[in-house]
Amino acid sequence: MKIKLLSGIAIVGLALVFTGCQKYPQAEVDAANAAIEATKAVQANLYVPEEYNALQDSLTTVLAAVEKEKSKLFHNYKDEVAKLTATAEQAKVVAGNAQAKKEQYKQETATALTEITALMEQNKEYLAKAPKGKEGKAALEAIAADLTTIEAGVVEVNNKLASDDIIGALNQAKSLKEKATGINTELTEVLKKTGKIK
């Protein structure tokens, strides 16, 4: 009887040895990879580079852990599956953060463009009021040329927005705004001197 019991245990044990290993978590690996690709698609590497790099590190670490487990005689992927799932979830958060950052930059660009438009309107109004004829119309030609350059720059900013170069658009918009503000200050001073504005 004792012998029979021992035989049973041995057979079950051997069966466990050869058949009891867990299946490679291919679905979870694929899901995590896909989630990371999705973050790349929303340019997380540009908008939230640190979060994106951390995410990639997590995936590389967990993939190595999966292979380590696979190298063993008995595979147990329980921890790795949990980590892969967490990585995929984190990827969604990172993608969301990237989109939010991108939206914030877009908003900042739009605000800068609105401010530039207002400044340009005022600059044109001031330019019209500025000394004319013998009293300096020609002297303001340079400013008029600057205004044209700014207007061309605004078109470039919009093109950059359209081609999804949001960071480039924001930087150019900031620079244009600074220039438009400088001209506004200059014109304001001239008009104050001539008494055309208070």
Partner 1 sequence: MARKLKKKVRNSLIIIGILIPLIIAGIFYWGSPKPPDLEMNKARSAISEAKKVIASDFIPPAFNQAVVLYDSAMIFWKVENERFILKRKYDKIRTLAIRAEQLALVSPKIASQNTEEFLAAIDRDMEAIRKDTAQIEQLYSRLPLPTTINKKYSTGLMLFNEAQLNLEQKNYKVCRAKLEIAKNNLSDVARHTQNLLSDYFANLGTWKRWADQTIRESAQNQTYAIIVDKFAGKCYLYRNGVLKTTYEAELGKNWIGEKRYSGDKATPEGKYRITKKKDGHSTKYYKAMLINYPNDEDKRRFQEEIRRKSLPRYAKIGGMIEIHGGGGKGINWTDGCVALDNNQMDALYRQVSVGCPITIVGSLQPLFEVIKGPKP
Contacts with partner 1, residue ranges (CB under 8 A): 3, 6-7, 10, 13-14, 17, 49, 53, 57, 60-61, 63-65, 67-68, 70-73, 131, 134-136, 138-139, 141-142, 145-146, 148-150, 153, 167-168, 171-172, 174-176, 178-179, 189-190, 193-194
CB of 139 to partner 1, least distance (A): 5
d(CA 175, CA 171): 6
CB of 15 to partner 1, least distance (A): 10
CA distances from 10 to 16, 73, 74 (A): 10, 17, 17
CB of 47 to partner 1, least distance (A): 12
CB of 113 to partner 1, least distance (A): 15
d(CA 19, CA 112): 65
d(CA 96, CA 118): 33
d(CA 33, CA 116): 43
Which DSSP string corresponds to 93-112? HHHHHHHHHHHHHHHHHHHH
CB of 6 to partner 1, least distance (A): 6
Judged by beta carbon, residue 30 or residue 67, the one nearer partner 1 is 67
CA distances from 45 to 63, 84, 170 (A): 20, 20, 17
58 and 99 Cβ atoms separated by less than 8 Å:
no
CB of 17 to partner 1, least distance (A): 5
Judged by beta carbon, residue 74 or residue 82, the one nearer partner 1 is 74
d(CA 154, CA 164): 15
179 burial via Cβ count (<10 Å: 0-12, 13-18, 19+): middle
